[in-house]
């Protein structure tokens, strides 16, 4: 039974007073504590989809460390997998396990695959414009390590198409408040129960947000790496906070290196991904002598290792990717964003090969959750890349990230509602918590980064790529 909060107990329940649902920082002045029913940390597809699957009588607050659009969900190029029919189940299941080196949680894989048609139906309902064939049917493409075409896409900006549609739907919900440039500094926890979090607002003020339920959807760890396709602000804060509170983590050494990002001589920003879809459509990889050296459709980790080995052998900083093998019309219609970015960098994929190099891309480990996305701390859930339900195993199959994030976000929302309890009394220690302990932003950020890096490098696996 869903029990709604008594908003007279703990302080003030905030609603957005702006037409687009964005929080007005001015309204916070002189307020000691915010209160919300559900606090969601992160504005990527998993956080947004969680919110959309919650009852509208719940007051929901979504905070984002950067702008709402600066999540890795927006960057996803390739597409999203879907079980086309029952005849594809066995191969979809086997492809996912083979890519993950059979380290996957089989129950999670089963749930993800079987839930995919329902998720896709939801996305289409939110207006997601997947590619269609000449008869109006959904069009499917293939990527590396897939035995069949089962990937839906929108050009080469599928993540942006999906996440922007979800964000637009969220902004229409009067019960959802959105707060940009608001960083989670800690969670409020006592006796194995989460009561919300401590945040730093855009204006630098420290603030407690009391919540009946908290959902961590704060992305991966790419910001810790010199070369990564991720946004630089994604530094694994939720992982550090979890370690601080003895929340269980899982598979922290499982970090995926994507084989192909556009080579930059002096990388200053995130690496630009050259989607696996281009290899799925026929693109080839060459060494310095323009000879093939690997089966381009092997799993990502296999191809990445082959590239790194070839670079070492050749004494080069990159290898070459040939997109000229793809028909011009297909290249223009399916990969316009990649074409534009390559041209901006000074390369013409129609007439020449482009230089590519592996870079950190995805984190398969994270905060350990069950099949309903619940963490080891009561009333705390984790979804998306920051969570680990074991679905990906040791290496993620291409285009399973968006699907997994959405499937287990919806499962989190359902479980949250089924087990919902409002906070009646905030423990005295939390009510009297001194926020001055969080005042020095730089020291706290450095401490959190050190904690996560130490955990990531326990097996000496990542020393060469940590920046």
Per-residue confidence (pLDDT) for residue 364, from 0 to 100:
96
Q: Average model confidence (pLDDT) for the chain? A: 90
- The answer to whether 222 and 271 have CB atoms below 8 angstroms apart is no
CA distance 367 to 274: 28
Average pLDDT over residues 139-151: 93
Q: Which domains does the chain have, with CATH numbers?
A: 1-254+364-467 (3.50.50.60), 264-360 (3.90.700.10)
Look at residue 407 and give its three-state secondary structure. Answer: helix
Token pair 């029952």 is found at 86
For the chain, the first-to-last Cα distance in angstroms comes to 48
Share of the chain above pLDDT 70, in %: 91
Single out the catalytic residue among 150, 165, 300, 411. 300
Per-residue confidence (pLDDT) for residue 333, from 0 to 100:
92
Per-residue confidence (pLDDT) for residue 428, from 0 to 100:
95
Flag whether pLDDT at 140 surpasses 60: yes
Please state whether the predicted TM-score (pTM) of the whole model is above 0.85: yes
Q: Supply the DSSP string of 41-79, one letter for each residue.
A: E--SHHHHHHHHTS-TTS-EEEE-SS-TT-SHHHH--S-
- The answer to whether 71 and 43 have CB atoms below 8 angstroms apart is yes
Per-residue confidence (pLDDT) for residue 459, from 0 to 100:
61
Per-residue confidence (pLDDT) for residue 23, from 0 to 100:
52
**What is the per-residue pLDDT across 3-52, written as a single tens digit (0 to 9) for each?**
333 332 233 333 344 444 555 544 444 445 899 999 999 999 999 999 99
173 carries an active-site annotation: no
**What is the per-residue pLDDT across 335-359, written as a single tens digit (0 to 9) for each?**
999 999 999 999 999 999 999 999 9
Cα 449 versus chain centre, distance: 18
- Which two three-digit tokens encode residue 269? 């920003």
Flag whether pLDDT at 423 surpasses 50: yes
- Which two three-digit tokens encode residue 55? 């009852």
Give the confidence band of 458 by pLDDT, cuts at 50, 70, 90.
confident
Flag whether pLDDT at 462 surpasses 90: no
CA distance 60 to 54: 9
Task: Tell the burial category of 340 from Cβ atoms under 10 Å away from its Cβ (0-12, 13-18, 19+).
Answer: exposed
DSSP state of 236: -
- Which two three-digit tokens encode residue 441? 């932003």
371 contact partners, CB below 8 Å, separation of at least 6? 107, 108, 111, 389, 408, 411
Per-residue confidence (pLDDT) for residue 7, from 0 to 100:
33
Flag whether pLDDT at 185 surpasses 70: yes
CA distance 82 to 203: 42
CA gyration radius, the chain: 22
**What is the per-residue pLDDT across 120-136, written as a single tens digit (0 to 9) for each?**
999 999 999 999 999 99
Q: Please, how many CA atoms are within 13 Å of residue 350, restricted to the half-sphere of its CB?
A: 10
DSSP 3-state helix, strand, coil percentages of the chain (rounded to 5)?
A: 35, 20, 45
């Amino acid at each position: 039974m869903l029990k709604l909060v008594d908003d007279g107990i703990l302080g003030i329940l905030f609603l957005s007073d702006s037409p687009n649902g964005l929080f007005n920082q001015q309204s916070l002045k002189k307020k000691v504590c915010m209160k919300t029913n559900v606090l969601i940390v992160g504005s990527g597809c998993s956080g947004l989809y969680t919110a959309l699957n919650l009852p509208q009588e719940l007051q929901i607050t979504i905070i984002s460390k950067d702008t709402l659009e600066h999540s890795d969900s927006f960057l996803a190029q390739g597409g999203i997998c879907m079980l086309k029919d029952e005849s594809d189940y066995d191969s979809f299941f086997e492809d996912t396990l083979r890519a993950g080196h059979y380290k996957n949680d089989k129950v999670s894989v089963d749930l993800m695959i079987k839930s995919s048609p329902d998720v896709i139906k939801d996305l289409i309902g939110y207006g997601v414009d997947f590619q269609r064939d000449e008869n109006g049917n959904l069009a499917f493409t293939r990527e590396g390590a897939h035995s069949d075409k089962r990937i839906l896409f929108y050009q080469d900006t599928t993540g942006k198409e999906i996440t922007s549609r979800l964000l637009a739907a969220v902004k229409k919900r009067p019960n959802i408040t959105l707060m940009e440039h608001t960083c989670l500094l800690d969670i409020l926890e006592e006796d194995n129960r989460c009561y919300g979090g401590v945040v730093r607002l855009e204006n630098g003020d420290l603030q407690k947000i009391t919540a009946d339920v908290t959902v961590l959807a704060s992305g991966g760890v790419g910001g810790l790496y010199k070369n990564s396709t991720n946004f630089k602000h994604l530094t694994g804060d939720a992982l550090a906070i979890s370690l601080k509170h003895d929340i269980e983590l899982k598979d922290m050494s499982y970090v995926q290196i994507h084989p192909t990002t556009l080579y930059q001589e002096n990388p200053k920003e995130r690496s630009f991904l050259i989607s696996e879809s281009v290899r799925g459509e026929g693109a080839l990889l060459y060494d310095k002598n323009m000879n093939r050296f690997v089966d381009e459709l092997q799993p990502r980790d296999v191809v990445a290792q082959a590239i790194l080995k070839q670079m070492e052998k050749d004494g080069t900083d990159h290898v070459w990717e040939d997109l000229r093998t793809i028909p011009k019309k297909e290249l223009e219609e399916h990969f316009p964003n990649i074409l534009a970015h390559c041209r901006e960098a000074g390369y013409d994929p129609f007439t020449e090969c482009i230089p590519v190099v592996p870079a950190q891309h995805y984190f398969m480990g994270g905060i350990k959750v069950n099949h309903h996305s619940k963490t080891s701390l009561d009333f705390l859930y984790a979804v998306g890349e920051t969570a680990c339900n074991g679905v990906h195993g040791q290496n993620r199959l291409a285009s399973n990230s968006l699907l997994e994030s959405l499937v287990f976000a919806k499962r989190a929302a359902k479980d949250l509602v089924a087990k919902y309890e409002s906070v009646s009394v905030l423990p005295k220690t939390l009510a009297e918590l001194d926020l001055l302990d969080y005042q020095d932003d730089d020291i706290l950020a450095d401490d959190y980064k050190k904690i996560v890096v130490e955990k990531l490098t326990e097996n000496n696996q990542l020393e060469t790529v940590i920046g």
